[in-house]
Chain A
Amino acid sequence: MVDKKNIFLFGYGNFGRQLYKNLFLAGHNIKVLTATAESIVNAQEDKVDLIQINIKRNDDILSLNIDQENDMLYCAMSKTANNLFLVLTLRALFPYANIIAISNSLENTRKLKYAGANSVIDLYEATSRRVINILTKPAVTRAIDEIIYKQNNLKMAEVIIPPTSFLVGMYVKDIAFKSMGVVLVAIIDKESEHELVFTDQRLSQQLEAGETLVVVSKIDDLKIFKDLVHSETHPFVSH
């Protein structure tokens, strides 16, 4: 289901440990790298193989053979200063790499983004959002858990429309997503890369090749849907 990716995880403190656990469960190949003694103890407890590096030395990092086009780099060092320096080093060495950093405040998120992280996960922002959602929107919180966090049948996925797909040129309202067991959440334009265009606006617009469909579906239905998107004929078109 998920494409297996090579992931380099820097840091094995509290964050690193949890990251490893979740990434491992999702079935990725993970290499753990660390600089501190505390992390080494953690790794030994969990029986995780770990490579010791010095983040100040470029040679150490270059010797890891990182493929910057495909690999993902997670920066989860316990100390913010180290994490920031790591992001900066990685960005300098690998201008095209996908770097994800963990932050513990809005303040540090800004700095990490400036240092070159593609995406920053704000630990406390996410937690506080969750605490509040549990209070105000319990159903929403559980729905999100069911869809993305729990290891169950439901999944959120992104599907790119290939140029040959039968979907190209069709109107969203004319496609019976529902009967295919798929809920379309968003459509992302190729040009306006990060701009999210949500479906309700786009009901009466034509789909184009290269656009990404963000959908939620059961895993079996998703497979069928992906095949369908790639097919050139249109078997499930509603009137």
Chain B
Amino acid sequence: MSLPVKKKVITFFKKKIDENTLKQKKHFFLSFAYFIESFRAYRRIKSFVYNLIENDQYPYKKYFDFFMIIVILTSVTLLVIDVKHHIPVWIDELDLYVVTSILILEYLARMWVYSDVHKIVIDEYEESRFFDKRLSFFHLFWKIFQNKWGYISSFSAIIDLIAILPSYRGIRILRVLILFRAFKMLRYTKSLNGFIYVLKNKKFELMTLLTLVAFFIFIAGIMLYVFEGDNKNPNIHNLFDAFYWALITISTVGYGDIAPVTPEGRVETMVIVIIGIGLIAFGTSLIVASFNERMSVLREEKVIVNVSRKKSLIVICGYGLLGRLVAKGLQKEGLEFIVLDKDENLVSQAFNSGYNTICTDASQGEIFVKLGIEKRISHVLCLTSDDIQNAFIAINVKSLNEKVHVTVRCSDEEIAQKMEFAHIDQVIMPEEIAGMMSAVYAGEPVAFEVLLSIIEEKEKTQIDEITITRGSFLEHKTIGDVNFDSYRLILLGIFTSKDNGKTLGEFLFNPSDDYYLHVGDRLVCIGYSAAIANLKKRM
């Protein structure tokens, strides 16, 4: 951590050391840099620290943020109490040493994770070798310093530094700087970034507004000073008073400590009050609009943090008629999912239904990477009404991670064939499903209604599957031994196990009584939900 500091200190003394030692030292630094580069634990620790203090997506960052807020609040509370009451010396010292140490540590940690010094050393060394130049220490340290200066001179780092200063008790006024610690709290609540974003985003408009305000204050102040500055108004002693009055009036605050006394002054006040109302409305609308734009980004970040805690995630792309029903069904089943759609209206509908939702183009890879396609996403359902869009999304997902199970909705058989070519796991054709159902209905209407009501779980009776697990009481028993009647279940058939139960094998309808159950076999049963739950529990 103190490596950069050490190096800087060394720079000052190095010049006096003779060439030989210099070479040796250079070798030492280089080998040290290479050592760090290959040192895995170091990189792990560094990335942990980085995640903890800088990565908003990291689930444990909020504990760090919370801790820092508590530390700062303690410090500010002590400042306030200290105004009227005397604080015991030991508390004051605790504040001095503990809080300051934490803040300094944090400052240094942020500087540490800001960039990799050893990489700079290696890069510089390799570059010098390539051009066959001598690598001077001064040049090297200057590069490192330049790099770290990027951090030191950043807005938030300056605030951090100012927040450390009040620890120097020599000058009383520095105590007020503790309030910078309160300012620093913004860092831990993400609002600072949001606010800076707003300022940056509307920089031009805000600058225009500011210039306008400054202009009016300037004119109005001078005018009032000219009208009333010559002892007509006892409250206006100098130009500063006139400018102060102009700002208070134009902002529509109007303390009334300085008020115009001459008719000219009053007319001027009337004009600038009206201008002031306009300017304030303009400024407010600017900031509100900008915050609104920012809201969707903040919401998206929140959603990503939400889902990053989940172990397994289903992604629904498209929140049309079908997407909506699927989302509802998945929620009922208690599965974790997220909805993606390009249409803002649909996204807000999904959001209002309480789902994790992001307004984005799912045919781009970025969002899937953010959601953790490598480890978290188990299924992607492409359910938009546009076949080509679905294909685009499916291929996007498969190209990122082939293992993710992708289901694609499509309305054309030719497209369905192309999907199979692209190794899409499942193709769903709503029209085909309806067609198949209608055909079955034509043949056996009553039987079909029964099955439909079972599948759609409209009755208490359900159809469900039970997997034989290792060591369960059903393992190595025959169907005759189990006596499904006693469980009040109807055994429709069994899927034999394949690939250790990962995939479904052959379907054995109505297996005979002497069939032996194996681990991984799946029983397909019909019965009351309670009866099914009972057997599952016994497993």
Taking Cβ atoms with an 8 Å cutoff, the residues of A that contact B are 2-3, 5, 7, 14-15, 17-23, 25-26, 28, 72, 74, 76, 98, 100, 102, 104-105, 119, 121, 123-140, 142-144, 146-149, 154, 156-158, 173, 178, 181-186, 188, 194, 196, 198-200, 203, 212, 214-218
Contact = CB atoms under 8 A, between A and B. Distances in A.
B437 to A, nearest CB: 5
Interface string B364-377: 00000000000000
A105 B321 contact: yes
B234 to A, nearest CB: 75
B430 interface: yes
B115 interface: no
A98 B355 CA distance: 40
Q: State which size class the interface on B falls in.
A: 35 or more
A212 B445 CA distance: 12
Contacts of B326: 128, 131-132
A26 B443 contact: yes
Given A144-B451, A214-B450, A23 B510 contact: no
26 contacts: A7-B442, A21-B435, A28-B442, A76-B438, A100-B442, A119-B449, A123-B430, A124-B430, A126-B434, A127-B434, A131-B326, A132-B326, A132-B329, A134-B407, A137-B465, A139-B495, A142-B495, A148-B440, A156-B444, A158-B445, A183-B490, A185-B454, A185-B492, A188-B446, A200-B488, A216-B492
B449 A121 contact: no
B428 interface: yes
- List 7 A-B pairs, minimum CB-CB distance, nearest first: A18-B435, A128-B325, A22-B439, A139-B465, A132-B329, A127-B430, A139-B522
A188 B450 contact: yes
Contacts of A173: 485
Nearest to B435: A18
B348 interface: no
A19 B451 contact: no
B430 A126 contact: yes
Interface of B: 314, 321-322, 325-326, 328-330, 333, 335, 379, 381, 383, 407, 409, 411, 426, 428-451, 453-456, 459, 461, 463-465, 485, 488-493, 495, 504, 507, 509-510, 513, 522, 524, 526-528, 531
Contact of B510 (A28, A132, A178): A178
B185 to A, nearest CB: 43
Given A15-B435, A102-B434, A23 B485 contact: no
Nearest to A103: B434
A183 to B, nearest CB: 5
Contacts of B459: 196, 198
Contacts of A148: 436, 440, 448, 451
A76 B430 CA distance: 13
Contacts of A188: 446, 450
Given A128-B325, A132-B333, A133-B455, A183 B492 contact: yes
B62 to A, nearest CB: 31
Contacts of A147: 492, 509
Contacts of B509: 146-147, 154, 183, 216, 218
Contacts of B441: 100, 119, 121
A137 B464 contact: yes
Contacts of A182: 510
Most chain B CB within 10 A, of A105, A121, A135, A181, is at A135
